[in-house]
Amino acid sequence: MSKDSQMRAAINQKLIEMGERERLKELLRAKLVECGWKDQLKAHCKDVIREKGLEHVTVEDLVTEVTPKGRALVPDSVKKELLQRIRAFLAQHATL
């Protein structure tokens, strides 16, 4: 278990060090905007905000409301592409 978490930390560090994490993030953002995910979530945000009232909205509220929906709404194609890239990165650097 400790070994597992150690490995996780090492991989994360490697991702950040190589700049791959940043690249993946940018790619995901672009893809999500492209497929309308962002607009869908924004619409959802609007509903949430109307419910709570404009003045009383907090970031925590938004996050709790939006994140599950956001996760669900990611198109399969985008998800697959991203997983593929992560796998490729791990394979490339694990064999070193």
Partner 1 sequence: MKMEDMPLSGPDNTKLEALVHDIYSELVEDACLGLCFEVHRAVKQGYFFLDETDQESMKEFEIVDQPGVDIFGQVYNQWKNKECECPNCKRLIAASRFAPHLEKCLGMGRNSSRIASRRLASNNNTSKSESDQEDNDDLNDNDWSYGAEKKAKKRKSDKSQNSPRRSKSLKHKNGELGSSISAEAYKYSYNTGISYETLGPDEVRSLLTTQCGVISEHTKKMCTRSQRCPQHTDEQRRAVRVFLLGPSAPLLPSADTAVDNDSFDIPDGQTLLSRLQWEDSPDISPTDSASSKASTNHSDSRRPKKKKRTSLCLNSGGGGGGGGSLSGSSSSQSNISLVTKKKRPKVSAPSISSIYDDLN
The site for partner 1 (CB under 8 A) is made up of 4, 6-8, 10-12, 14-15, 21, 24-25, 28-29, 32, 38, 41-42, 45-46, 49, 54, 57-59, 62-63, 66-67, 70-71, 74, 79, 82-83, 86-87, 90-91, 93-96
| Alpha-carbon separation of residue 6 from 3, 11, 45 (angstroms) | 5, 9, 37
| Residue with Cβ nearer partner 1 (19 or 54) | 54
Judge residue 4's burial from the number of C-beta atoms within 10 Å of its C-beta, 0-12 exposed, 13-18 middle, 19 or more buried. Answer: exposed
Cβ closest to partner 1, residue 29 vs residue 77: 29
- Tokens at residue 74, please? 């990611």
